[in-house]
Structure 1
Amino acid sequence: MAPFARAFAIGIAALAIAATSAAPARCADDHVRVTLVGTGGPEINPTRFGYSTLVEAGGEKLLFDAGRGVVQRLYESRVNPREVTKIFLTHLHNDHIEGLPTLWITPWFLLARDQPLEIWGPPGTQKMVKGMREMFSDVEKRGGVNGFNKIEYMDIKAEEIGEGTVYDRNGVKVTAFKVSHGDGDPAVGYRIDYGGRVVVLSGDTVYSPNVVAAAKGADLLVHNVVGFSDAWVARPGAEKQRNAVASKLASPEQVARAFSEATPRLAVLSHIVKKDLSGRAGDDFIVQQIRKNGYNGPMLMGEDRTVIDIDAKDIKVHPPQPTDKLPDLDNRNVKLDEAP
């Protein structure tokens, strides 16, 4: 069984939700589309790139976090990175912003992005953006070289946010809420509302009542998880390391509690961190622990580039599309959504 089909078969337990291998069509105006651009944590992994989630609704493309390889994964998801200019950060840890410089530079220089970036994030975001611009200050010398990459499109509007509504345009509302990531640095999750549909992203957190409150009856709740294999837990010195990680990320037991209390139409796992000795453990033990701890609702173990279409009637999950026939993305005229 293919990896996606296996992950889907393990996790899904509702007839109203269907998986389809067909390429996802463009959504109607009343739909919300969620792409799990990257589903990994800080670990270097051949199949999971850094955490990033794209939400499309009302003609808006909103990117939540920009982990390692985000531009590559957007391209492989048939989303032109030049169209992604609105970015919401859950917190400023490196695995959530590593892809930001590339997303800022490459679509401008190579793909003729014709508008500046807008970034929303917790306190410290403006300082981070200033440091990024200083580190890559040489790119400003490239302005106008190709006749279209205007320097004003390198501008970045960075807004530091707290709790409450942080974005409200074209019927799409984004609300931030505090979560607990263990080290005292400010961290938020996000709720996205559009046309009666609700998507909630936990960001990095342990069990949080704020996540549950935001996601009560939501269409989609995307939650982080860290799983420890029995062999990893049994090794000498594991308890101290486990406690350190467990103060920042949700265990399967905590995820089961959050899912059970929130009862979303579909629960999704992303920012998936697996601790095992071999590095080759499957996803089964995380799903099994969640089930063992009482969550029996619809659930999907996320994979990079999975697309989820949401409307009032159903939720359709599309596995990652093949990438072998994608055209090189080196100019502004390529239509990625028309690729085979």
Structure 2
Amino acid sequence: MTNPTGSVSIQLTLLGTGTPIPDRDRHGPSQFIEIADDVILVDCGPGTLHRLLAASPNFKAIKYIFLTHLHSDHISGLADFLWAGWIARWWTVPPVLVGPPGTEEFVDRMLYAYEEDIRLRTEEGSVTLSGLRPEIYEIDDGWTATHDMWSVTGFRVDHFPVKYAFGYRFESQDNVLVISGDTRMCENLQKYSENANILVSEVAWELGMKRAIESSEGPQRARWERILHYHMSSLEIGKLAANARVQHLVLSHLMLMDGTPADLINDVRTSFGGKVTVGEDLAKFRTN
């Protein structure tokens, strides 16, 4: 998409802004990106396929799928999307799939789980396995790919005990969009978020998480402590966005913990003076 100045802007649609906990209004984490003539999907949580139908008529043109990590809430919608495109013949060759180490094994096991369905459909002769199984690239920190009008860099983030978790930085001329994936506060995210037009980051309301910890005991208390330990808090993301000189911070994967969007914004505002938006499913943004 080219703006009047001739630069290629990046358009973002938040498909899902939720968490593993089912929510009628917030589906699983997923982002739909349009750059020039290319259409991209980042993560594919539950409900992604049906959010795509509402988001854009270009959903059939998705060329690339990027996975941040292999937690179920970021990948469980992948089978829905691939099978829909395969059966409805949206493509001859499925979108390229990029993700962390383990992505290829995950896809192979997914295909095995649907083995009977695949056998029946291919025996009918109207589809072939080559139209279902994507080409897969497993990446490490600093991986890059360059296309005609844009480039992308995958970078490691800290979502321990997840061994391999990534964020992605998309660049088109002077436009930058960064997707954090799931992460705690880490230097690599700040580094790759430098001067981003838009940073999409996960967030947990810090006070709400601490209240949950204080009011719990035993295994439940340990669970809340663990969740806060490997996710980004509302106070931390404000500091990171300020240090990285982000123009527009968009919050997603919202762990509100009985809080409100205003609570998240108030925390971010203690250190970040730029634009901040609490994301909603199907919200759209442009880099310029």
TM over 0.5: yes
Question: What residue ranges of structure 2 are gaps of 5+ in the alignment?
Answer: none
In structure 2, the partner of 1:304 is 281
Deviation at 1:156, TM superposition (A): 1.4
Q: How does 1:242-281 map to 2 (within 5 A)?
A: 242-276=224-258, 281=259
In structure 2, do the counterparts of structure 1 residues 256 and 233 end up closer, same or farther at CA, with 3 Å as the change threshold?
Answer: same
In structure 2, do the counterparts of structure 1 residues 36 and 144 end up closer, same or farther at CA, with 3 Å as the change threshold?
Answer: farther
Q: Distance in 2 between the 1:103 and 1:185 partners?
A: 26
Deviation at 1:84, TM superposition (A): 1.8
Question: What residue ranges of structure 1 are gaps of 5+ in the alignment?
Answer: 1-25, 312-340
In structure 2, the partner of 1:319 is none
For the pair 1:62 / 2:40, whether they are aligned, the reply is yes
In structure 1, the partner of 2:185 is 207
Deviation at 1:119, TM superposition (A): 0.8
Task: Find 2:121's aligned residue among 138, 142, 147.
Answer: 142
In structure 2, do the counterparts of structure 1 residues 144 and 209 end up closer, same or farther at CA, with 3 Å as the change threshold?
Answer: same
Q: In the TM superposition, what whole-angstrom CA distance separates every residue of 1:16-63 from its partner, at most 9, and x where no partner exists?
A: xxxxxxxxxx76572210111111111111111000112211211111
Deviation at 1:86, TM superposition (A): 1.1
Q: Distance in 1 between the 2:125 and 2:62 partners?
A: 21
Q: In the comparison of the two structures, how many residue pairs are matched? A: 280
Q: Distance in 2 between the 1:232 and 1:143 partners?
A: 50
Deviation at 1:183, TM superposition (A): 0.5
Q: Distance in 1 between the 2:253 and 2:62 partners?
A: 21
Task: Find 1:190's aligned residue among 165, 168, 171.
Answer: 168
Q: Distance in 1 between the 2:142 and 2:57 partners?
A: 29
For the pair 1:283 / 2:261, whether they are aligned, the reply is yes
Deviation at 1:104, TM superposition (A): 0.7
Q: In the TM superposition, what whole-angstrom CA distance separates every residue of 1:249-273 from its partner, at most 9, and x where no partner exists?
A: 1011111111111121111101111
Per the normalisation by structure 1, the TM-score is: 0.77
Task: Find 1:235's aligned residue among 212, 215, 232.
Answer: 215
Letter in 2 for 1:294: S
Q: Which has the higher contact order (CA 8 A, sep 6+)?
A: 1
In structure 2, the partner of 1:108 is 86
SS at match of 1:156: coil
Deviation at 1:166, TM superposition (A): 3.2
Contact 1:117 1:154 in 2 (8 A): no
Letter in 2 for 1:218: A
In structure 2, do the counterparts of structure 1 residues 79 and 38 end up closer, same or farther at CA, with 3 Å as the change threshold?
Answer: farther
SS at match of 1:50: coil
Contact 1:37 1:73 in 2 (8 A): yes
Deviation at 1:110, TM superposition (A): 2.4
Letter in 2 for 1:61: V
Q: Distance in 1 between the 2:130 and 2:224 partners?
A: 47
For the pair 1:164 / 2:142, whether they are aligned, the reply is yes
In structure 2, the partner of 1:333 is none
The alignment-based identity, stated in percent, is: 26
In structure 2, the partner of 1:75 is 53
* More deviation, 167-176/216-225: 167-176
In structure 2, the partner of 1:315 is none
Letter in 1 for 2:108: K
Contact 1:37 1:51 in 2 (8 A): yes
In structure 2, do the counterparts of structure 1 residues 286 and 146 end up closer, same or farther at CA, with 3 Å as the change threshold?
Answer: farther
Contact 2:177 2:287 in 1 (8 A): no
Q: In the TM superposition, what whole-angstrom CA distance separates every residue of 1:269-305 from its partner, at most 9, and x where no partner exists?
A: 01111223xxxx43222222222x3222210100111
In structure 2, the partner of 1:334 is none
Task: Find 1:152's aligned residue among 130, 135, 140.
Answer: 130
Contact 1:85 1:115 in 2 (8 A): no
Per the normalisation by structure 2, the TM-score is: 0.90
In structure 2, do the counterparts of structure 1 residues 205 and 195 end up closer, same or farther at CA, with 3 Å as the change threshold?
Answer: same
RMSD of Structure 2 on Structure 1 (CA): 2.1
